[in-house]
Amino acid sequence: MNAPPVAPLERTPAPRTRHWLPAAVARGVSLFIGGFTLLSVVGAARSEALDATIWWVAVPFVPRLVSAALLAAVGVAFVAYAVAPRMRVWRRWPTLVLLAFFAAVAAYNAVDFFLVWRAGDIAPGVPLPLSLIVALLLVFVTWAAARAPAPRRRRWAATAVLVVTAAVCVVLFPLAQVLFFGTTDYRRAADVVVVFGAQVHGNGAPSTSLRDRMDTAIGLYKDHLVKKVLVSGGVGDSGYNEALVMRDMAVKAGIRKEDVIVDSNGVNTGATVRDSIPFFAVAPRARVLAVSQFYHLPRIKLAYARAGWNVLTVPARTSTPIKETPYLVAREIPAFWVYYLRAILG
């Protein structure tokens, strides 16, 4: 009697785990996001006037303390995932909820950007908000954290990728601020516009940068958006005082001399911020605009924030492309972090 044929055993598929490289990249992004978020919370705790979340995401419809608590929890969750991605159930689900929450907030900020743009309150140079990029990155990190852990055998390679990714984020973040925030025009009716000085040539003629800054400020005045024009600059290598050259440009363009405020000691960004505040601090609710080239504006915003003032920035019009622009933009990478840490740490 023949035995019945035996059916071949079906192989049970091995559980799928994520590839170590995307997981390591996600952890590097998570480390940067978490660290930056916690720094923002520290800044908010140190000064009520400093809203450091504007560089990242803003939690809507909740009091300041609640927002700070939520952001602190989010920051800790991101850093914890970056350092220890293997999570037990008690940590896994709260972490995923916080990551998803942060992604949702960033998406809301992106929608709000388009609503504000549609209302005419801003004129962005880039038709997309940085918060949309942030939201996509947060979705990527949430997706990576929700998957099965990567094998341990790539631990050192994964750590190296994590560190490199976080370092790349440190470099790219200021560039993103220059591209998205710096090119956005926030002009509206204000009491005064502060114009930051730039080079004057040896023959006394203003440089292209200075001319563009002044043309922009003069336009704000002639459009009746500002009542006063504060020009600030120092004596450069040419021997000319930038502020006096700027004053003469303003008067020649038709601005009344009594409406021009001159600060001849504005030798750098910090000096201009420090010297300009007494002119409008007499009116606590004064609205202030600041004009400079787009790459300079994030640093200006941080300098005024450190001093407790929320100025609105207006990028100078570009009459002629400046060949040094790539260098000037690159210079803002370390400058942004210096000014950011000054504003956060005081």
What are the pLDDT digits (tens) for 62-117?
A: 887 888 889 999 999 999 999 999 998 899 999 999 999 999 999 999 999 999 99
Q: What is the DSSP letter of 190?
A: -
Lowest-confidence segment of 50-54, 226-230, 280-284 by average pLDDT: 50-54
> How far, CA to CA in Å, does 102 sit from each of 28, 31, 43, 105?
17, 14, 19, 5
Residue with the larger pLDDT of the pair 58 and 101: 101
At the top level of CATH, the class of 192-345 is: alpha beta
Q: How confident is the model at residue 149 (pLDDT cuts 50, 70, 90)?
A: confident
Identify the three-state secondary structure at position 330. Answer: helix
Q: What is the pLDDT of residue 3?
A: 56
**Span 40-55, average pLDDT:** 74
Q: Is the pTM of this model over 0.75?
A: yes
**Span 275-299, average pLDDT:** 92
Question: Average pLDDT, whole number, for the chain?
Answer: 90
Residue intervals in the chain for CATH 3.40.50.620 = 192-345
CA distance 327 to 322: 10
Q: What is the pLDDT of residue 56?
A: 76
Question: What percent of the chain is predicted at pLDDT more than 90?
Answer: 72
